[in-house]
């Protein structure tokens, strides 16, 4: 993998993050849409397929679906902690990551490796 290829991946990812910030300032609905849009997932699928082949890509897609649940728990936790309490957003995000991690570990124990 060349340095140019890695830089390209960082530029694409960074552009999406900047886009989320810009769109959120226009209207939070559009920023939220871009934040959860399958753009990063699509790019990840393309990059993994190119680098590792279709079999690994298919397995990654299956696990991505499995891990949607902890992602939803993360978002729900951050929203609840931020909207329903007077806690700082940074603490809310840390709590969200803690819940996400618990969800991931729980899934790892429940679902056998594929």
0.75 exceeded by the pTM?
Answer: no
Q: Measured between alpha carbons, how far is 38 from 11 in angstroms, rounded to an integer?
A: 17
Q: Measured between alpha carbons, how far is 44 from 79 in angstroms, rounded to an integer?
A: 26
Residue located via tokens 């991690």: 101
Q: What are the pLDDT digits (tens) for 5-45? A: 888 888 888 888 888 888 889 988 888 888 887 887 888 89
Output the CA torsion 50→48→60→73 (10° steps): -150
> Is residue 72 pLDDT above 70, yes or no?
yes
Six-digit token pair at 75? 């978002």
Confidence of residue 59 (pLDDT cuts 50, 70, 90): very high
């Amino acid at each position: 993998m060349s340095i140019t290829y890695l830089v390209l991946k960082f530029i694409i990812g960074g552009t999406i993050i900047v886009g989320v910030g810009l769109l959120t300032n226009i209207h939070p609905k559009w920023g939220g849409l871009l934040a959860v849009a399958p753009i990063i997932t699509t790019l990840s699928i393309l990059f993994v397929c190119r680098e590792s082949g279709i079999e690994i890509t298919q397995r990654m897609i299956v696990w991505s679906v499995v891990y949607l649940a902890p992602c939803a728990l993360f978002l729900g936790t951050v929203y609840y902690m931020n909207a329903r309490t007077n806690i700082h957003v940074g603490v809310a995000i840390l709590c969200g990551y803690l819940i996400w991690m618990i969800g991931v570990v729980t899934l790892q124990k429940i679902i056998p490796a594929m």
